[in-house]
Amino acid sequence: MSEHQPSEKAEWADIFPFDPYPNQVKGINSIINTLESGGFHLLEGPCGTGKTLIGLTSALSLVRDPKTKFERILVITSKKQQLSAFESDLKAINNQDDVYFPGLTLIGKSELCPYVQTGHIGEQEIYHECISLRDNTQELMEEAVKKDRTAREANAAFGLQARAEQAPKHGRLTVNGKETPYMPEIPSVGDTEYCPFYASHITNAVQEEYPLSIHRVTTGEETLTEGSACGTCPHIEMRRLYPEATVTMGNYKHAFGPRTVSALTAPLVDKETILICDEAHGLVSEVRDQLSYGLTYSKLNHGVGNLKEVYGWLTGDGHQAKQRLASSLIADSPLETSDFATSIKFLEKLRSFISQAIVDGLKDEHGASWRADIQSSRRSEISIPMQSPTKPEPDPVSKWAEKNDYGNIWKLFLQVAKLTDSVKDIVSRKIDGKSPDGSFPIGAVYELFERWWVGSHSEYFRRVTLSPRQRVHANPNDSMPWRAGYLAKIQINNSIPQNEIAATLDAFGGAILMSATLSPLDIYSEVTGVTKLKNGTQPPGSLVTKAKSESERQHEDKDPRDQLPDLSAVGKVGSSSDKSMQEKRRTVGHSEFELGFPKEHRLSVAVDVPKFTYSNRWPPEENLGLRNTYSTALSTVVRTTPGNVLVCMPSYDEAAWASDVLNEDSNVQKEILTDSPSSDAETQCLKEEFIDGPPKVLTTSLRGTLTEGVDYDGDKLRGVVICGVPITTTGTPLAKAIETAYNHRFDGKGFEYAFTVPAVRKARQAIGRVIRGQDEVGVRVLIDQRYVQTDSYTSVREYFPEHAREEFIPIGIDDLGYELQTFWKSV
Ligand code: SF4
């Protein structure tokens, strides 16, 4: 297929719902070329390029083509607004004649439970409450059979459903304006509340007849409304239906979160799936978050308790039925009772290392008076690194294990921990008749120490954080003296997810990584491991691929023995794979688009004034010259722009400063709104306030949520101004560990790769909020000499794509007012 083939002749032409622009034709053909050979395509284009449709059309065309291996698409995005964009573009595709691709959005239980949506259950309580309601439903069914009220549990489920359907006095439970078949309250039998939606699901499952079909719902909202109206649980329906979807839409957890993949999306992590990764400029930080893990010290203690409890059952302690069940389960595993004794000792040793590190850290922080100091009223959070953040060397625990050749014991302990979690789960369900509320503490202990062992010292940073407890505890246990004033949490943070991303991407048949701000593409390819895929040097597996293999073995409702984990999968992924480097090589393609709208509709300038860095600007009273320069520039943009202006600062404190100086400026007539850290709902209200009514100014932080993935279309925004380069704090131990890891991996380019380039992407994202359509006009102003200079080591101009570099004209502050006025007169 030619790259410039007219759309009407293209095989995908009937999928694309509009007349494609030449750039879109080129982009789709280019992606198809890359994916046909199982490759990865980087797609960079500003808002308005139609990236969502380009991605969907190319991927759907390949899925439809019987000559390819592709069967489905998994779309992941970090922004709700983008999820809606994919949903509506898929609907636009499906609204055409003779084209239909079933799609479904994956969302969480709290968003899909009718009782949460109608306020009967709190969002935070849903997991616990749902388990309790489901267990109650099950118990009521069993009781009905036991008491001979009915012959089968399924009949009892039907009875519970009917009971909740009886003519209610106060109408019916209504979700999104549609009535459900049930009473408005959570129904009960005596004092026992139950869930009729779950009872209905059981009835449907027995009859193998479900009221909801993939052809009836696409969005999460539709699944909620339609599922509730049919009287069945929308969340269970979503889980049942998504394997039938050609396009599944979700978030980063669905591809890169080991626990979510294991629990839900394992079948999608597959060579027959095309992954569309939207907002892919954030891939590294998203995956870093998915891999990081924290465990309270008290949970660690409970984890030791879980091991001892199961060991007790195996050695004749406790409830006899539990002893019998646990013994039979262990007999079916490759482990012995003695392995539990070894693991308890090993975990206690790991715990003593951590405890010693906490005490040593407190002594370093407070000196000889540490015991008294930790009980004082002026306590603040303390971070105790378990390894040097600035030297690439292992932590003491890993060194000890290596020195004593305890690698096999560590692996054995992980196997025992995993098995213990499963045994506890099965015993709870089979003997106590209760579904566990999440995993047991030993499951969390496994997660932490798996990463500790599997991840190298440069990939993960280990530390303990101590948070002041509300009340001083006068007599803490001798083994935990810090508990006099603090609560401890052991944390393992991923520093550099390059290998994990590469190995996870490799599990898919191909991928499109798209964003408005991927550039510079060479650096992006390095940090995301795409270069490794190109060279065939990607690792053979990741935590996600392991989670996938494990989950494939475990299915609900099987014999308990079949629910035991695959212990052979525990441990490090092999260092080499059977495939040669040549075989492992994946194609990498890319497409880059410029802002396609008329250039005369926008003014883009970079103002040459001294750097707005923390050391230059803080404290404000000692840096009045710099502060005056920036307040003058802000005032000039705000006064000359006939419409709303978004002022983007490096932090919320600086946003508050910008609001103060603009409020004090008698020449500024616009209302000034100030963003601050707040809930999603509050931020949304602030955005509405900003765009409603007469022109206003909104000051915000570039680390907030109003500068990325938020649409200000039409004339809602006429100007964006950015002060400084939003480089995140680099002084924390974790930031230093990230820089060290990147320096080590990327030849001394740690600061550039881990901090400078992501900061420029943030600035570019904010700049992208203005000019999102053909007829939109606006100004884009960068203030800081680093956006102007080309010959300084602090310059960031080189990280903009060439077309953007050409557009952002360097000017002096004295010319700013004139340039802006001239532009506004011209449009
Ligand atoms: S089973 Fe479904 S409807 Fe019932 S409480 Fe749980 S999530 Fe809500």
In tens, the pLDDT along 101-141 reads: 999 999 999 999 999 999 999 999 999 999 999 999 999 99
* Predicted local confidence at residue 559, as pLDDT: 59
Atom of ligand 1 nearest to the CA of 133: 5
Ligand 1 within 6 A of 235 CB? yes
For 188: left if phi > 0, alpha if psi spans -120 to 50, otherwise beta; the answer is beta
Atom of ligand 1 nearest to the CA of 115: 8
Residue 673 has pLDDT above 60, yes or no: yes
Ligand 1 centroid to 139 CA: how many Å? 16
Residue 5 has pLDDT above 50, yes or no: no
The predicted-structure confidence for 66-111, as pLDDT tens digits, reads as follows: 999 999 999 999 999 899 999 999 999 999 999 999 999 999 999 9
∠ CA 316-328-312, rounded to 5°? 25
Q: Alpha-carbon distance 149 to 759, whole Å?
A: 67
Q: What tokens does 481 get? A: 């003296």
The predicted-structure confidence for 500-557, as pLDDT tens digits, reads as follows: 999 999 999 999 999 999 999 999 999 999 999 999 999 999 999 999 988 876 654 4
Ligand 1 within 6 A of 130 CB? yes
Residue 154 has pLDDT above 90, yes or no: no
Ligand 1 centroid to 130 CA: how many Å? 5
Q: Which CATH architecture has domain 599-826?
A: 3-Layer(aba) Sandwich (3.40)
Ligand 1 within 6 A of 201 CB? no
Residue nearest to atom 5 of ligand 1 (CA): 130
pLDDT (mean) for 180-203: 96
Residue 575 has pLDDT above 80, yes or no: no
* Predicted local confidence at residue 257, as pLDDT: 97
* Predicted local confidence at residue 557, as pLDDT: 47
The predicted-structure confidence for 287-346, as pLDDT tens digits, reads as follows: 999 999 999 999 999 999 999 999 999 999 999 999 999 999 999 899 999 999 999 999
* Predicted local confidence at residue 556, as pLDDT: 47
E-assigned strand segments in 682-814: 696-701, 719-723, 778-783, 809-811
* Predicted local confidence at residue 680, as pLDDT: 84
Per-residue pLDDT band at 698 (split at 50, 70, 90): very high
Ligand 1 centroid to 663 CA: how many Å? 50
* Predicted local confidence at residue 436, as pLDDT: 87
Strand partners, 465: 383, 489
pLDDT (mean) for 561-589: 75
Ligand 1 centroid to 177 CA: how many Å? 19
Ligand 1 within 6 A of 643 CB? no
Residue nearest to atom 6 of ligand 1 (CA): 130
Q: What tokens does 696 get? A: 């206003």
Q: To 10 degrees, what angle do helices 153-165 and 126-146 make? A: 120
Atom of ligand 1 nearest to the CA of 195: 4
CATH 3.40.50.300, the chain: domain bounds = 1-97+246-281+497-593, 599-826
Ligand 1 centroid to 423 CA: how many Å? 26
Query: Cβ distance 299 to 339 under 8 Å?
Result: no
Name the fold adopted by 1-97+246-281+497-593: Rossmann fold (3.40.50)
Ligand 1 centroid to 289 CA: how many Å? 28
Residue nearest to atom 1 of ligand 1 (CA): 198
* Predicted local confidence at residue 1, as pLDDT: 38
Atom of ligand 1 nearest to the CA of 116: 8
Per-residue pLDDT band at 563 (split at 50, 70, 90): low
* Predicted local confidence at residue 2, as pLDDT: 40
E-assigned strand segments in 360-497: 382-385, 460-468, 486-494
Coil vs helix vs strand at 548: helix
Q: From the CB of residue 190, how many other CB atoms can be counted at a distance below 10 Å?
A: 6
Ligand 1 within 6 A of 198 CB? yes
Q: Alpha-carbon distance 45 to 593, whole Å?
A: 5
The predicted-structure confidence for 754-807, as pLDDT tens digits, reads as follows: 999 999 999 999 999 999 888 999 999 999 999 999 988 999 999 999 999 999
Atom of ligand 1 nearest to the CA of 198: 1
Picking from 477, 471, 115, 494, the residue whose alpha carbon sits closest to that of residue 294 is 494
Query: Cβ distance 14 to 96 under 8 Å?
Result: yes
What is the per-residue DSSP string for 309-369? HHHHHHTT-S-HHHHHHHHHHHHTSS--HHHHHHHHHHHHHHHHHHHHHHHHHHHHHHGGG
Ligand 1 within 6 A of 109 CB? yes
Which residue has tokens 């597996």?
Answer: 541
* Predicted local confidence at residue 153, as pLDDT: 87
What is the per-residue DSSP string for 163-189? HHHS--TT---EETTEE-SS-SSPPEE
Ligand 1 centroid to 372 CA: how many Å? 50
Average pLDDT of the chain? Answer: 93
Residue 8 has pLDDT above 80, yes or no: no
Q: Which residue has the higher pLDDT, 478 or 52?
A: 52
Ligand 1 centroid to 195 CA: how many Å? 6
What is the per-residue DSSP string for 671-701? EEEE--S--HHHHHHHHHHHHSSS-EEEEEE
**Radius of gyration of the chain from its Cα atoms, rounded to whole angstroms:** 29
Residue 60 has pLDDT above 90, yes or no: yes
Ligand 1 within 6 A of 231 CB? no
* Predicted local confidence at residue 471, as pLDDT: 86
Picking from 83, 84, 87, the residue whose alpha carbon sits closest to that of residue 101 is 87
Ligand 1 within 6 A of 233 CB? yes
Ligand 1 centroid to 104 CA: how many Å? 19
Query: Cβ distance 277 to 283 under 8 Å?
Result: yes
Per-residue pLDDT band at 574 (split at 50, 70, 90): low
The predicted-structure confidence for 26-52, as pLDDT tens digits, reads as follows: 999 999 999 999 999 999 998 888 999
Ligand 1 within 6 A of 195 CB? yes
Residue 4 has pLDDT above 70, yes or no: no
Cα separations (Å) of 714 from 79, 166, 516, 771, 774? Answer: 20, 51, 19, 8, 9
